[in-house]
Amino acid sequence: MAGYIAWRLVSAVPVILLVTLISFSIMSLVPGDPAAIIAGATATDAEIADLRVALGLDRPFLTRLVHWYGDLLSGDLGRSILLQRPVAEAIAERLPVTLALGAYALVLTLVFGVGLGVVAAVRQNTWVDQICMTVAVLGVSIPNLWLALLFVFLFAVTLGWFPTGGYVPFGEDAVGALVALTLPAISLALMQVGLLARMTRSAMLEVLRQDFVRTARAKGLPGWFVVLRHALGNALIPLVTVMGIILSLMISGTVVIESVFSLPGMGRLIVNAIQRRDYPVIQGGLMLIATALVLVNLVVDLLYAWLDPRVRYAD
């Protein structure tokens, strides 16, 4: 197992190197002169030239690349042109918001997605199954954005149960932070819940008709125990793949949700940076998201091994 983990970690390194290379290359890949684009139509030639030096564009590509990697190793992602501060600092400030939102939405997705799927599978072809699957289809079909707006209108504006947006740091008020993040997290989770519920249902149906489920019942174990310990333990293996996809969808989902609920997270940081052509921030954000996706896939592979001894002990 330790060897497997080590091997997976090592094999993630070239992927991350490639990802950082691609993020770095953006500025050289955009058509035209990035400095001129950033400076805007009204800028003078002198201003553009200054900006070019500030961005390091006056130096050759390879020199910049070496510097970029050097800076990266020391945690320096460059300076934001618009925010007038280090990119790493801006990200460090925004990242906790996105992580909190993502974690909250992930917990909701797991609890309700797996829960609905298991209940639907156990009560296959009954009204319970119908209701679970109707909720799942609605979740998948309704766009996050529209649902988020609907939630704001109903629960925040009309009923006043939740704030319409904004963020309270956990350090200041943990309950307030949870309340503020509830609507965004539900909006972000709902589509994933639908997807996961449907996958869980089919994975469970597949496992429930296996012989070892009958063996477990023949031992005199209670039905719920057979379902949760024996059936779900096996059904989780294919669901891990789905979880990887769901996490990727969530990362892109946060961009929209943070904008709707005016949460000061990574998503909004990157959207603003794109609108204003703030390349250093785009580069840093892109690298961070790509690295996160690589790590998600790494965790998925490790989860496989943890859940399935056939992977762990395969020779």
Partner 1 sequence: MSALLAVRDLTVTFETTAGAVAAVDALSFDIGPGEFLGIVGESGSGKSVTALAAMGLVVAPGRIAQGSIRLGGEELVGLPERSMRRIRGRRMAMVFQEPMASLNPVMRIGDQIAEAIRWHEDVSARAAAARAVDLLGTVGIPAPAERARAYPQQMSGGMRQRAMIAMAIACSPALLIADEPTTALDVTVQAQIMDLLRSLRERFGMALLLITHDLGLVAEQADRVLVMYAGRMVEEAPTASLFARPLHPYSAGLLDSIPDIEIRRPVLPAIEGVVPSLSALPPGCRFGPRCRFAEPACTTADPPLRRFGVRATACRRDLDLARA
- Cα angle 120, 123, 126 (rounded to 5 degrees) comes to 100
127 interacts with partner 1 by CB under 8 A: no
Amino acid in position 179? V
210 interacts with partner 1 by CB under 8 A: yes
Closest approach of partner 1 to the CB of residue 7, in Å = 21
- Under rule CB under 8 A, which residues in 213-232 are in contact with partner 1? 214-223, 225, 229-230
Closest approach of partner 1 to the CB of residue 228, in Å = 13
Closest approach of partner 1 to the CB of residue 297, in Å = 22
Structure tokens at 237: 């293996």
User: 64 and 56 in contact (C-beta within 8 Å)?
Assistant: yes
Of residues 23 and 200, the one with the C-beta less far from partner 1: 200
Q: If we measure between CA atoms, which residue out of 186, 199, 300, 195 comes closest to residue 246?
A: 195
240 interacts with partner 1 by CB under 8 A: no
200 interacts with partner 1 by CB under 8 A: no
Q: How many residues bind partner 1 (CB under 8 A)?
A: 24
Of residues 95 and 307, the one with the C-beta less far from partner 1: 307
Tally the residues of the chain: 315
Q: Measured between alpha carbons, how far is 92 from 103 in angstroms, rounded to an integer?
A: 17
Closest approach of partner 1 to the CB of residue 195, in Å = 24
Of residues 85 and 312, the one with the C-beta less far from partner 1: 312
Query: CB 192: neighbour CB atoms within 10 A?
Result: 27
Q: Which listed range, 81-89, 142-150, 245-253, 306-314, lies at the site for partner 1 (CB under 8 A)?
A: 306-314
Of residues 142 and 305, the one with the C-beta less far from partner 1: 305
**Residue with token string 């003078």:** 44
Interface residue with partner 1, options 23, 144, 192, 234 (CB under 8 A): 234
237 interacts with partner 1 by CB under 8 A: yes
Interface residue with partner 1, options 169, 174, 212, 295 (CB under 8 A): 212
3-state secondary structure of 276: coil
11 interacts with partner 1 by CB under 8 A: no
309 interacts with partner 1 by CB under 8 A: yes
Q: Measured between alpha carbons, how far is 175 from 189 in angstroms, rounded to an integer?
A: 20
DSSP secondary structure letters along 133-195:
HHHHHHHHHS-HHHHHHHHIIIIIIIS-SS-SS----TTT-HHHHHHHHHHHHHHHHHHHHHH
310 interacts with partner 1 by CB under 8 A: yes
Q: Which listed range, 57-65, 212-220, 260-268, 276-284, lies at the site for partner 1 (CB under 8 A)?
A: 212-220
Of residues 216 and 250, the one with the C-beta less far from partner 1: 216
Q: Measured between alpha carbons, how far is 297 from 98 in angstroms, rounded to an integer?
A: 19
Structure tokens at 286: 């892109």
Structure tokens at 159: 């009923």
User: 187 and 207 in contact (C-beta within 8 Å)?
Assistant: no
DSSP letter (8 states) at residue 307: H
Closest approach of partner 1 to the CB of residue 243, in Å = 17
Interface positions with partner 1 (CB under 8 A): 210-212, 214-223, 225, 229-230, 233-234, 237, 307-310, 313
